[in-house]
Structure 1
Amino acid sequence: MDILIGSILGMVEGLTEFAPVSSTGHMILAGHLLGFEGTVRATTFEVVIQLGSISAVVVFFWKRLLSLVGLYRTPGQEKSAHLNPVHILLGMFPACLLGLLFHNYIKEKLFTAQTVIWALILGGILMILAEAFRKAPPSAANLDQVTYSQAFIVGLFQCLALWPGFSRSGSTISGGLLAGMNHQTASEFTFILAVPMMVAATVKDLLDNWELLHASDLPLFIAGFVTAFVFALISIRFFLRLISRLKLTPFSIYRFILAIAFWGLMK
């Protein structure tokens, strides 16, 4: 049962972590349906499988990640202007600061069915507004054209993702569109920005709960990690091909449907 539960939840995590549909909402729903919720073991498992998802980003964007630290230069990349660690720091700073200041409040008050439902709805509205008011034509058609101010604006929007259910991808892609990026660039910047953010959050949660882990949990964690990695890799590739054609509105509609389903199951 551990391997089955781990595989199912890993698949849910991998498919939803980087789509603007709220992986948190899906994980809460799936955990509720499987009866795997409300324990430290379940909470720690969710942290572990996030590492699987973020590992998929590292594999998918390894050249770009190496270029951030000067170990690789993409063909045609200009020396004078390209995505660099300053962009990432600017994108991380607002959410990191708020996350540290309000960590306990978020854990105690915002991880409820009611707050997630509202976050799903409000996040969907934000995405519709971002499509309606995005800058056209965009000033950043690829990652190397992203400015420091655009990176910081995305960082401000990422603060919304501290509210479970709002969706990190939905918030940051919306911020990127409003700041002047096209859909592809906003999505790629979102995925790359997720690496340090999710690694930092995951390591912190693992350290906080390390003494509660047991060797008997390994089959569950390994199944979840591997499944999350595989499905996240598939999801990233599929989403990047899809986003420029579908835009964000269909994902907004899906979020509204998910909120209704969430409300019905949690009554």
Structure 2
Amino acid sequence: MYDIFCAIILGIVEGLTEFLPVSSTGHLILVGDLLGFEGDAATTFKIVIQLGAVMAVLILYWKRYMSMLKDLLAFNFSAKNKLNAIHMIVAMIPALIVYLLFKDFIKMYLFGPAPVLIGLIIGGVLMIVAARVRRRVTAENTDNISYKQAFGIGLFQCLALWPGFSRSGSTISGGLLLGTSQKAAADFTFMISVPVMLGATVLDMYDSREFLTSDDLVLFLIGFVSAFVVAMLAVVTFLNLIKRLKLEWFALYRFVIAALFFLLVM
């Protein structure tokens, strides 16, 4: 019964934090540590419930994804000032390469409370710097983002492989430093989240396949549904929030959370 309680709580945490620049993985690690929900099965569970959040974004942006898939299958990349599959691919490549090269190191040394707290703080500093550095905006919306900017945002996404940095925090910060508006950076972050998270989750699930047993199926399903429902309710609200609030507010939240968890778990 306690495991079911943990599954619901962690599903809610995943759904609430996945789309904010506060690091959902970091929150899952810290909350899981507080709940005593740890071990190989717990790690696999945290991977599985991310699919619930992925589904929420997929449903929200399905028309854009279908349009890009149609252009990709037709090899139609001639339209100017239009976000297409090439933008998505070049943004995904850097993090994919780094993950494949260092995934064992990342899982062994970075998936713990102390590295997460460090990631929260350094990621918060990056967000403050990105928000205060004044760059000329060349991309007001996602259709104005260049391939060069997409690749640069992909490089910043590599930072998110360190739990605590936050994928959206890293990519939005990168977008601002590379000349996109905060709205364009947030939208692009949401768009690339599906293929990135889906790919990473499938790879992690394959690596953890020995822990995907029928005994834990109900637990995984509860966490998945919890994450999906909460993410569906939160995604539109949080997307508007990210576009309007300055990154400094999210950075402040990260500092406060890091301090609280330092007192609780360290």
Normalising by structure 1, we get a TM-score of 0.93
C-alpha deviation, 1:211, in angstroms: 2.7
- Which residue type is aligned with residue 91 of structure 2? G
Aligned partner of 2:155 in structure 1 is: 156
Matches of residues 1-267 of structure 1 in structure 2 within 5 Å?
1=1, 2-37=3-38, 39-70=39-70, 79-136=79-136, 138-267=137-266
Measured after TM superposition, the shift of residue 23 of structure 1 is 0.9
Q: Deviations over 1:107-148 (max 9, x none)?
A: 111122221111100000000000011424x21111111100
CA–CA separation in structure 2 for the residues paired with 1:264 and 1:115: 15
- Partner Cα distance (1:153, 1:234) in 2: 31
SS in 2 for 1:81: coil
Return the alpha-carbon distance in structure 2 between the equivalents of residues 80 and 115 of structure 1.
Answer: 42
Give the 3-state SS of the residue equivalent to 2:210 in structure 1: helix
- Percent of pairs with identical residues: 53
Q: How many residues align?
A: 260
Q: Which amino acid aligns with 2:4?
A: I
Segments of structure 1 that go 5 or more residues without pairing to the other structure are 73-77
8 Å contact kept, 1:16–1:23: yes
Q: Could you give the per-residue CA deviations for residues 59-95 of structure 1, whole angstroms, max 9, x where no partner exists? A: 01111111111269xxxxx943311111011101111
Letter in 1 for 2:97: L
AA aligned to 1:23 is: S
Q: Note if contact 2:119-2:163 (Cα within 8 Å) is conserved in structure 1.
A: yes
Q: Report the 3-state secondary structure (helix = DSSP H, G, I; strand = E; otherwise coil) of the residue aligned with 1:164.
A: coil
Post-superposition CA distance 1:191-227 (Å, at most 9, x none): 1111111111111111122232222212211111011
Root mean square deviation, CA, Å: 1.6
Distance 2:101 2:210 in 1: 25
Q: Distance in 1 between matches of 2:179 and 2:164?
A: 25
Hey, what's the Cα distance between the residues in 2 that align with 1:122 and 1:262?
Answer: 15
Identify if the C-alpha distance between structure 1 residues 19 and 118 changes in structure 2 by more than 3 Å, giving closer, same or farther.
Answer: same
| Letter of the structure 2 residue corresponding to residue 238 of structure 1 | T
Contact 1:16 1:22 in 2 (8 A): yes
Instruction: Pick which of 253-262 and 110-119 moved more.
Output: 110-119
Partner deviation per Cα, 1:213-264 (whole Å, 9 max, x = no partner): 2222122111110110111122221122112321211000000011111211
Residues 186, 243 of structure 2: 8 Å contact kept: no
> Given that residues 134 and 179 in structure 1 are in contact (C-alpha distance below 8 angstroms), is that contact kept between their aligned partners in structure 2?
no
> Residue type of the partner of 2:31?
A
The TM-score with structure 2 as length reference comes to 0.93
1:146 & 1:132 partners in 2: Cα distance? 21
Q: Which runs of 5+ in 2 are unaligned?
A: 73-77
Residues 1:201 and 1:171: Cα distance change in structure 2 (over 3 Å): same
CA distance in 1, matches of 2:192, 2:69: 14
Q: Secondary structure of 1:36's match?
A: coil
AA partner of residue 11 (structure 1): I
Aligned mates of 1:24, 1:209 — CA distance in 2: 17
Looking at structure 1, the residues matched to 47 and 243 of structure 2 have their Cα atoms a distance apart, in angstroms, of: 30
Name the CA distance, whole Å, in 2 between partners of 1:94 and 1:12.
Answer: 28
Secondary structure of the residue aligned to 2:129 is helix
